[in-house]
Amino acid sequence: MRYRVLYIPGYVTRVTLPMIRKMRDLVAAGAILVGNKPKGGLGVDSPDAAVLAVADEIWSGKSAHVHANADLGAALAVEKIAPDVAVRGAETRPSIHVRTSPSRRRRLYFISNRQTADETHCN
């Protein structure tokens, strides 16, 4: 699987060591990362110091494609990436978007509606 943009929601404050290492590798390969720097590790196998050392590498400012905030819309605008789907609603947003192989012509979306009301406004 290839990732163009990796979004870390604002409520995610801790990550595992394997996850932060994968983020570092994705950014090094050209992925765009949008999200706040983690505050530490998640779990006993992910000590805060080890996670923060890798996080410091990622959020060091060396990559223009690391957006140190949780504002996905602003980051996509800076990167000049237009959304290919829009869902109107305060807590409704596409969470996962993949293209099928080998032609990559079909697109699949997982859309999470976190509201108690139905939402039908998609473009």
| pTM of this structure | 0.74
Could you write out the DSSP letters of every residue in 40-106? EE-STTS-HHHHHHHHHHHTTS--TTEE-SS-HHHHHHHTT---S--B-STTEEEEEEEE-TTT---
Residue ranges per structural domain of the chain = 5-78, 84-123
pLDDT digits (tens, 9 = 90+) for 35-78: 999 999 999 999 999 999 999 999 999 999 999 987 888 898 99
